[in-house]
């Protein structure tokens, strides 16, 4: 039975159960396959969706980044263009703010409205503005589904003064020169993705003119070899120095920068206000050169005019007594007049009789030779100006007797200079007839105080500015005999930059002595009050503070400026050069637009200095002033060619190799070395009013904003 059951079961299983098991397995396999298929499909769908999302996010991020970078670069370019406009000296760009708004390109309007003040220069205050940057359809937006959003904020921040309050004692214009930075914050969003790019420019706004010094054509603080100041100019053949043919040396001529007025009837205040002035700190007495020749100074001595006055009976010289000679009475008040003439110094004129008659004068250095300096020009180029410091002049007041009737102007008897103790001696001087001496002494009643009112005498203690009174006297001296006293009519109105007027007062010449303690004004506002002698020693550090870049040598600076020229960038600004510096003529194409070179040691100029911008800079760089500033050395002029520049030696000298001096700008030196001037080469310093710190237009045109060549750029987290 068990076997049968077993067999039956076996039969049952072999017939039914095996068949049922195969079908179930197939079903399970199909179901498993379907499950796996659906899982795979779901996974692939999820993966694809995630990938599409990730790809979309990456694409949006890239777009947002590109747009943010685009905005930053556009504003960078806008800032550079706006600053280039501010730095341009093209007359067509003034007034800056008005012209900038009128000619504004993309974003420029906001820049000039917010960041440029009413004076046309970069604001001294911190400012910010939202800059509108249009997105170009054919560039940044090409192929995009959505339009990105762009927001760019330009900020001027960190503004602070470049100079300390005590940088130059008395200067009140420091706040206008600042250092700070432009920050460009560009944020872009695209399809809910934001990216932010920040770009930072350092900027330095400086004034190219040098405080106080650039108001003066010549500034000197020390003259160690003053014994060479007044010398004999005649040549070996004894030729009169008025011609200066083969002379032993020629003087240094200072020209104030303007043509003299055609008429002297107008108030000279405005003319003197614009002239380049002169400041010499050490006390000097300059001998006035004789004559009207190439280097004479008679134009500052009433042009050689002869004045005369009648002799008053019973009063004054030659009217208080009789001159009795050999029983004959001489009544000079009936027959003669007293003549007077201002003239240069007689040692140089080679007039023997005049030399004898002035032989008793003491202090021959100041009364017998003319100086090596012509501070107010020459007869060919008269240039009266203001001289500051205790600078005096010496000349001869020639006086004598002339016949009243029938005598020519040349028919004169020179009255010799006589000291009080010599008046009663038997002989006053060689060349004077004893009988004539008796007449002169007798008609003065034997009184030296009476005689000295008519005798020739040295004038050696009057301010050099006295020459202004004779030049601007409206009576126009012609060199002819003039029936009037020597009292020039000279009075100015208020000289705007000086804030005071000048007047010639007889017997009070000290009124024309201008000391070193002064005030300076620009547009009626006081910009300086102090001692002129304190300015130059402090100018060195002042100029260093203006320098935005430092170079190890002039060679490296030249490479840098060459790179700027190739890109068409204006190189204007102050540069610091370690060591010494040499200027050659190839610098003229590089240092344009207004450049200051501040050097640790010597500056040597071996070629012409005349900046000549080329290409696009030719229009942009109209004013191309050059400043050579030597901090611890000398400024050496080793060329006779024109130097259109300012020469400043803070602790040293401005000196010539002997080839000559032809400077158009101004000169300021601690030491004037006269031995370097004692040669026959021409020497001229012409003032250029474009350097004038106290002039409103020159000051306005002198501001420059210097940007870093490459900004700092980085990505930041969105706000």
Q: What is the CA radius of gyration of the chain?
A: 43
Rounded Cα distance, 316 and 443, in Å = 9
648 within 8 A of 627, measured Cβ to Cβ: yes
Compute, in degrees rounded to 10, the torsion defined by CA atoms 170, 172, 177, 178: 100
Compute, in degrees rounded to 10, the torsion defined by CA atoms 475, 481, 486, 488: 10
230 within 8 A of 352, measured Cβ to Cβ: no
Residue 59 burial (10 A CB sphere; 0-12, 13-18, 19+): middle
pLDDT recorded at residue 307: 87
Q: What is the DSSP string of 378-406?
A: -SSSB----EESSEEEEEEEEEEEEESSS
pLDDT recorded at residue 292: 81
Rounded Cα distance, 706 and 250, in Å = 43
pLDDT recorded at residue 247: 55
Rounded Cα distance, 473 and 313, in Å = 31
Task: Please name which of 302, 253, 299 lies closest in space to residue 276, comparing C-alpha atoms.
Answer: 253
Task: Please name which of 545, 682, 566, 662 lies closest in space to residue 605, comparing C-alpha atoms.
Answer: 662
Report DSSP state, residue 507.
T
What pTM does this model have?
Answer: 0.87
Collapse the DSSP code of 436 into the 3-class scheme (helix H, G, I; strand E, B; otherwise coil) and give the result.
Answer: helix
Calculate the CA 397 to chain-centre distance: 40
Burial 557-583 (b: 16+ CB within 10 A, else e): bbebbeebbeeebbbbbbbbbeebbbb
pLDDT recorded at residue 329: 77
Rounded Cα distance, 639 and 587, in Å = 15
Which residue intervals of 477-629 are DSSP H helices? 536-546, 554-566, 617-620
Burial 457-473 (b: 16+ CB within 10 A, else e): bbbbebbbbbbbbbbbb
pLDDT recorded at residue 243: 46
Name the β-bridge partners of 520: 528
Rounded Cα distance, 264 and 606, in Å = 41
615 within 8 A of 594, measured Cβ to Cβ: no
321 within 8 A of 444, measured Cβ to Cβ: yes
Name the β-bridge partners of 598: 576, 629
Collapse the DSSP code of 331 into the 3-class scheme (helix H, G, I; strand E, B; otherwise coil) and give the result.
Answer: coil
84 within 8 A of 572, measured Cβ to Cβ: no
550 within 8 A of 534, measured Cβ to Cβ: no
Cis before 581? omega within 30: no
Task: Please name which of 410, 408, 374 lies closest in space to residue 391, comparing C-alpha atoms.
Answer: 374
Collapse the DSSP code of 342 into the 3-class scheme (helix H, G, I; strand E, B; otherwise coil) and give the result.
Answer: strand
668 within 8 A of 216, measured Cβ to Cβ: yes
> Mean pLDDT per 10-residue run, the chain (719 residues)?
40 45 69 71 56 52 88 92 93 91 77 92 92 72 78 93 86 82 94 91 94 97 86 52 57 92 83 97 90 85 86 88 75 88 74 72 60 92 96 91 75 87 89 88 91 90 93 73 77 96 88 94 94 96 94 96 92 96 97 96 97 92 95 96 98 92 97 86 95 95 90 76
Report DSSP state, residue 290.
P
Rounded Cα distance, 685 and 666, in Å = 7
pLDDT recorded at residue 665: 97
Instruction: Please count the residues of the chain.
Output: 719
Neighbouring CB atoms inside 10 A of 324's CB total: 13
Report DSSP state, residue 298.
G
Q: If residue 51 lies in a helix (H) or strand (E), which one and from where to where?
A: helix 17-87
Tally helices (H) and strands (E) across the chain.
Answer: 15, 34
Rounded Cα distance, 600 and 578, in Å = 5
HSE of 303, CA atoms in CB hemisphere, 13 A = 16
**Crossing angle (nearest 10°) for helices 17-87 and 2-15:** 40
Task: Please name which of 672, 655, 674, 671 lies closest in space to residue 663, comparing C-alpha atoms.
Answer: 655
Q: If residue 109 lies in a helix (H) or strand (E), which one and from where to where?
A: helix 108-114
Rounded Cα distance, 76 and 74, in Å = 5
Collapse the DSSP code of 581 into the 3-class scheme (helix H, G, I; strand E, B; otherwise coil) and give the result.
Answer: strand
Rounded Cα distance, 608 and 585, in Å = 6
End-to-end Cα spacing for the chain: 93
Report DSSP state, residue 134.
P
pLDDT recorded at residue 492: 94
Rounded Cα distance, 57 and 349, in Å = 98
Collapse the DSSP code of 413 into the 3-class scheme (helix H, G, I; strand E, B; otherwise coil) and give the result.
Answer: strand
Collapse the DSSP code of 41 into the 3-class scheme (helix H, G, I; strand E, B; otherwise coil) and give the result.
Answer: helix
Collapse the DSSP code of 213 into the 3-class scheme (helix H, G, I; strand E, B; otherwise coil) and give the result.
Answer: helix
686 within 8 A of 255, measured Cβ to Cβ: yes
Task: Please name which of 599, 682, 601 lies closest in space to residue 639, comparing C-alpha atoms.
Answer: 682
Q: If residue 352 lies in a helix (H) or strand (E), which one and from where to where?
A: helix 352-357
- 193-207 vs 216-222, strand pairing mode: unpaired
| Cα distances (Å, whole numbers) of residue 502 to 269, 493, 496 | 9, 7, 12
Rounded Cα distance, 689 and 275, in Å = 8
Neighbouring CB atoms inside 10 A of 409's CB total: 13
């Amino acid at each position: 039975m068990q076997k049968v059951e077993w067999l039956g079961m076996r039969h049952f299983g072999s017939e039914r159960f095996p068949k049922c098991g195969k079908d179930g397995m197939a079903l399970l396999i199909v179901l498993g396959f379907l499950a796996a298929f659906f899982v795979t499909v779901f996974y692939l769908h999820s993966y694809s969706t995630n990938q599409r999302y990730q790809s979309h996010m990456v694409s949006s991020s890239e777009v947002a980044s590109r747009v943010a970078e685009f905005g930053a670069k556009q504003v960078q370019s806008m800032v550079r263009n706006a600053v280039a406009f501010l730095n341009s000296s093209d007359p067509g760009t003034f007034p800056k703010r008005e012209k900038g708004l009128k000619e504004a390109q993309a974003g420029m309007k906001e820049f000039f409205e917010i960041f440029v003040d009413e004076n046309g220069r970069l604001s001294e205050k911190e400012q910010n503005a939202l800059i509108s940057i249009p997105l170009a359809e054919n560039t940044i937006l090409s192929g995009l589904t959505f339009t990105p959003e762009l927001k760019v904020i330009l900020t001027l921040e960190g503004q602070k003064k470049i100079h300390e309050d005590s940088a130059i004692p008395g200067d009140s214009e420091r706040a206008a020169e600042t250092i700070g930075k432009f920050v460009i914050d560009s944020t872009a969003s695209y399809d809910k993705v934001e990216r932010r790019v920040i770009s930072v420019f350092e900027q330095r706004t400086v004034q190219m003119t040098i405080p106080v010094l650039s108001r003066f054509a010549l500034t000197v603080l020390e003259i160690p070899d003053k014994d060479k100041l007044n010398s004999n100019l005649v040549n070996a053949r004894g030729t009169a120095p008025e011609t200066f043919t083969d002379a032993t040396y020629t003087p240094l001529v200072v020209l104030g920068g303007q043509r003299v007025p055609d008429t002297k009837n107008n108030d000279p205040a405005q003319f003197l206000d614009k002239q380049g002035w002169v400041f010499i700190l050490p006390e000097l007495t300059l001998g006035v050169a004789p004559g009207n020749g190439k280097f004479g100074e008679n134009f500052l001595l009433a042009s050689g005019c002869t004045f005369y006055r009648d002799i008053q009976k019973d009063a004054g010289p030659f009217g208080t007594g009789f001159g009795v000679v050999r029983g004959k009475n001489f009544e000079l008040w009936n027959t003669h007049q007293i003549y007077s003439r201002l003239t240069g110094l007689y040692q140089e004129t080679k007039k023997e009789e005049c030399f004898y008659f002035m032989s008793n004068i003491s202090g021959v250095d100041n009364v017998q030779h003319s100086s090596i300096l012509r501070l107010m020009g020459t007869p060919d180029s008269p240039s009266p100006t203001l001289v500051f410091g205790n600078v005096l002049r010496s000349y001869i007041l020639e006086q004598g007797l002339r016949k009243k009737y029938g005598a020519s102007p040349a028919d004169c008897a020179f009255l010799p200079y006589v000291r009080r103790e010599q008046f009663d001696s038997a002989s006053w001087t060689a060349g004077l007839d004893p009988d004539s001496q008796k007449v002169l002494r007798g008609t003065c009643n034997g009184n030296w105080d009476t005689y000295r009112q008519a005798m020739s005498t040295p004038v050696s203690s009057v301010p050099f500015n006295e020459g202004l009174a004779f030049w601007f006297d409206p009576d126009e001296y012609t060199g002819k005999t003039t029936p009037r006293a020597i009292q020039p009519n000279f009075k100015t109105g208020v000289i705007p930059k000086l804030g005071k007027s000048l007047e010639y007062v007889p017997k009070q010449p000290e009124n024309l002595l201008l000391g070193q303690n002064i005030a300076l004004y620009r547009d009626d506002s006081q910009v300086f009050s102090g001692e002129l002698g304190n300015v130059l020693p402090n100018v060195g550090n002042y100029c260093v503070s203006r320098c935005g870049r430092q170079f190890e040598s002039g060679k490296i600076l030249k490479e840098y400026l060459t790179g700027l020229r190739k890109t068409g960038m204006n190189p204007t600004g102050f540069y610091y050069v370690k060591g010494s510096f040499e200027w050659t003529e190839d610098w003229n194409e590089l240092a344009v637009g207004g450049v200051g070179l501040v050097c640790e040691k010597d500056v040597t100029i071996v070629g012409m200095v005349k900046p000549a911008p080329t290409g696009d800079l030719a229009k942009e760089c109209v004013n191309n002033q050059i400043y050579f500033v030597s901090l611890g050395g000398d400024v050496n002029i080793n060329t006779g060619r024109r130097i259109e520049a300012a020469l400043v030696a803070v602790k040293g000298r401005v000196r010539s190799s002997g080839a000559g001096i032809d400077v158009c700008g101004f000169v300021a030196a601690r030491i004037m070395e006269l031995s370097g001037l004692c040669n026959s080469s021409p020497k001229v310093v012409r003032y250029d009013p474009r350097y004038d710190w106290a002039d409103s237009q020159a000051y306005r045109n002198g501001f420059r904003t210097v940007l870093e060549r490459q900004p700092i750029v980085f990505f930041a987290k969105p706000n």
